[in-house]
Amino acid sequence: MEIYFAPLQGFTDFVYRNFHAKYFSGVDKYFTPFLRVEKNDVRKKDKADLINSLSLFKSSDSGIELVPQIIVNCREDVEILVQFLENQGFRACDLNFGCPFPQQSHHFYGAGIWDKPEKVCEVFEALKLFPEISFSLKMRLGNTSLSQTVDLLDVINSADFRFVTVHPRLAKQMYSGEIDFQGFEVLYSKIKKPIVFNGDLLSVQDIEAVEKKYPDLKAVMIGRGLLRNPFLAENFKNKNSAFDKQRFLNFQNALIEGYLAQYQNSEFMVLDKMKTFWQFSNADSKMLKRIKKAKSISEYISFSAMAVSEKK
Ligand SMILES: Cc1cc2nc3c(=O)[nH]c(=O)nc-3n(C[C@H](O)[C@H](O)[C@H](O)COP(=O)(O)O)c2cc1C
């Protein structure tokens, strides 16, 4: 079974993805956070993020794939975004039909598109304009109810997706609360495409349990679990729980260098950025407080080294 690194807006940017792929193994595909249309063009920031990823992923012969994700709800969006991806040489594209944030869903983007079946059909139809591109879909159970996606199963099944990732929650749950396994099973059994499970996989045991329960899964997609423990995919593939502290710290140093270059050497911005990753950590709460209060990058580095040396 494959492992995919989920897209996480604000976290899995090109700096993070490029260095994660360099320092750790086990991830088969990395997904970009969604690209979107702004003023009739690809949003500038999204363009830059993607272009900065090209060298690593094009020169890599490791078999790792970078899949750009787009958020769309009409033909024009598809044309603008997918044309850009095609021009950049990409042959894969993931559709975001799961974003629960009201800024998107209230405008019938992300999970909100399930409120407008005609928009789902319009988008799927527009994909046919790009026969060279291999599309995949990332979805929730629905925006407000499972019946929204179940009612569109024929439409989903007749579109040409190479796989469909399901995050088994409704939009109102955001990213917390119980995962609806029953709801997942409905889509797992009825969507006639390879299925990828996504949600709350934090340990090798969690991944193995899902693999055992759903043996036909093509892959699992992991977000917060990999941010918490960047070795997770590698651990699953190697069947161990090794945590190489020095490698983790080298990765952190590389991120710091990468963000310093991106933020014109602003220590303040980089410190702020690095601290955000610890919100997913299960390190000791006192250590986490110290990291949060670090006043300089060198203080941050020494506190984070202490936090990992307390591990296992
Ligand atoms: C901060 C944050 C940003 C996210 N950004 C995206 C995004 O750009 N595209 C997307 O499809 N999902 C996005 N997600 C959802 C994740 O890809 C994933 O579906 C979700 O976190 C559940 O998986 P996990 O429990 O393994 O983290 C985001 C989630 C979080 C918490």
Tens of pLDDT, residues 30-76 = 999 999 999 999 999 999 999 998 876 665 567 889 999 999 999 99
Going from the Cα of 207 to the center of ligand 1, the distance in angstroms, rounded, reads 17
Mean per-residue pLDDT for 170-175?
Answer: 93
Residue nearest to atom 21 of ligand 1 (CA): 223
CB of 167 within 6 A of ligand 1: the answer is: yes
Residue nearest to atom 10 of ligand 1 (CA): 7
Q: What is the largest CA-CA distance in the chain?
A: 56
CB of 195 within 6 A of ligand 1: the answer is: no
Tens of pLDDT, residues 13-26 = 999 999 999 999 99
Strands 92-97 and 41-42: unpaired
Residue nearest to atom 4 of ligand 1 (CA): 8
Going from the Cα of 167 to the center of ligand 1, the distance in angstroms, rounded, reads 9
Residue nearest to atom 30 of ligand 1 (CA): 8
DSSP letters, 139-208, are EEEESS-THHHHTTHHHHHHS-EEEEEEEEEEGGGTT-S---HHHHHHHHHH--S-EEEES---SHHHHH
Q: Is the entire prediction scored with pTM above 0.85?
A: yes
CB of 69 within 6 A of ligand 1: the answer is: yes
E strands of the chain, at which residues? 2-5, 29-35, 37-38, 41-42, 65-70, 92-97, 134-142, 161-170, 195-198, 219-222
Tens of pLDDT, residues 199-220 = 999 999 999 999 999 999 999 9
